Structure 1
Amino acid sequence: MKDSNRQRPALPPQSAFAGFRFPPDVIMVAVRLYLRYNLSYRDVEELLVERGVETDHVTVFRWVQRFTPLLADAARFCRHAPGDRWYVDETYVKVNGVWRYVYRAVDQHGQVIDVLLSARRDAAAARRFLRRAMATLKVTPSEVVTDAAPMYPAVLDELVPAAWHHVERHANNRVEADHSQLKHRLRPMRGLRTDRTAQTIIAGHALMQNLCRRHYELGIAAPRGLRVAAAFTELATAI
């Protein structure tokens, strides 16, 4: 009679790439190209076909949506601690023909703290964004720089009462200038279709910005021009 209480051997966690027809290196190249450069899904499809990889733009879209959150989550463990001065602001994007707000924050070193897509620009959205950013990074800023939007004072007094809230003309130029890089990346796309896919792309752009600015302990041994590719290779082994 078999011992029903015998403990089964622990199995290694299944790779996120299990069940995909293409190998991980092909998928990672496609995702990296899309997030790094001003390319559409069809552009990435064409680049892959030129290299002998027969796929289509819908498959590239699925890869980006599937693996971008996994890569961002794996990268958290290699991320440098953010600075204590946060520049917080909102920009806007159109999703399926409707304007949405994108809450973004960067620190004094240019690290993108977090991003959040919201249907509204109000105190509830600002509270949700800041609470999520602090919970994810386990960091509380000592100074927060915003524009003169009326919802911030009460939200900051509630969440970070010890922080200095700085509101001054041109004080928030750092994050406003950073918005332009996101807008530049979104321009070649043929529109964002859903809030979920838009959040994924915007978060993926933030990940890529931080990788290019060397805010992760990833790809550090690679030559300068190969650091982002090396970082993606390292992250692929973690997922």
Structure 2
Amino acid sequence: MRINVLQHTPNEGPGMIADWAQAHGHALYTYHPYQFGHLPTAAETDMLVILGGPMSPNDDLPWIKQERQLIAALLATDTPMFGACYGAQQIVKTLGYPITKAPVKEVGWAPVYRESTIIPGIPAQLMALHWHEEMFVIPVGATRLFSTPQVANQGFVLNHHVIGLQFHFEPKADNVREMVVNDYPYIAGSVLKQTAADILATPVPPENRQVIATLLDYITAGSES
């Protein structure tokens, strides 16, 4: 399987998603459209991963619109797709729904709560890394997967092949350090009231590796080759 990854900032890479791909023998191709302007075609994409970034789907940039054209083509063919933060918002925007400011800014470690048992093996509560201040609605036909008390729509699954999460399960410890040391000014104003030191001192929960694998296994079931 060829997994095409859309990365939108140097400090937010695929993390444990790359580990999962390697364990399954899949080929990972990482694109940086914000820098180079290149995107894969739908025909050469067996699975698409859309990572987070500092931009908004509402930004008027050609490559952001081109990403949505790719997403639309893959949605039409039920191609497996996983979006994190901005990536999830891009999927929802492609489906025709607005992306708006969240009632609060969430940056740091905080629990997320399971809202559906549609995907077996997901614990009722998990600790995730949050790095956002915009939010999506749950598309019609999708199932809400996760919530927090501050922002109800934290994750969804659509048609068994598409998952979008507002937060991050994918970072490993090195990834968290990279996010914090490069983007620490963004932490200011978060409702979670954590400092950069607080975030760095919190270990990545070991169960996050299994959860991200469970989510990716679910959307690719029957598609792997």
Q: What TM-score does the superposition give when structure 1 sets the normalisation length?
A: 0.24
Q: What TM-score does the superposition give when structure 2 sets the normalisation length?
A: 0.25
Larger Rg: 1
* Greater relative contact order structure (CA < 8 Å, 6+ sep): 1
